[in-house]
Amino acid sequence: MTIALISGTSGLVGMQLLHQLLRNSVYSYVISVGRRSLALKHEKLLQIDGDMPKLTTWAWEDKINAQSLGGAYHTLVLALQEKKVTVHAFCCLGTTIKQVGSKDKFYAVDHDLVLEFASWSKKLGASKFLYVSAMGANPQSSIFYNQVKGKTEEDLKAIGFPYLGLFRPSLLLGARHEFRFGEQVATFFMMPLSWLKLGKNIRPIRDHVVAKSLVNVALSDSKSSMDCFLSGKMQELGA
């Protein structure tokens, strides 16, 4: 049995990824973890929610079992407890300073929550952890956003997953819930790169392409313990 753990499902890539995982026959269950549950029902989907900064202290077994009064998930919980399942974890957590209001709050989401989810996933026996980072991620960057993404990548490496996949998409295209003026301007100027098939690592990339590349990498046999994928490679993997 193979289980997918996912956090960040309300975001652009996260929602696409959730649908990809639910459609994939390899995954018996998909466990979505977040502050609140989505208005979505599926026979393979389990949603557990709560105070994310305290995720590693959650009684996750009770949260899963509570979703079936008939004990339908007892076997799943037991298999997770005894590490008798294959677990892949996918992290699409991310926000913007504008959304949360300060650099400190941005760091709390894009670094601290990511690491909390990663630590919890490791505790559940995740053999693969796949993280949606950003183009330009670099802990030494003078740009705060890129600096945080880079620091998060470095701290994920220290957790010691058997396999870590880092995905650095360029400008994401998709149906966002909120309007981002800066991204609209950037899209206008960068779309010609897509039309002309130029600058494969910097031209815009569709959300569903990133999502599909994550799933394909998770289900592949990698020869290394860590890989970093830029947009050009994701375009190939998600085609």
Task: Write the class of the CATH domain 2-237.
Answer: alpha beta
Q: Exposed, middle or buried, 226 (CB in 10 Å: 0-12/13-18/19+)?
A: middle
Q: Give the C-alpha separation, 54 to 77, whole Å.
A: 20
Model pLDDT for residues 26-74, shown as the tens digit of each residue: 999 999 999 998 888 999 999 999 999 999 999 999 999 998 878 899 9
Span between the terminal Cα atoms of the chain, in Å: 27
| 189-224 pLDDT per residue, tens | 445 545 445 457 778 899 999 999 999 999 999 889
Res. 178 pLDDT band, cuts 50 70 90: low
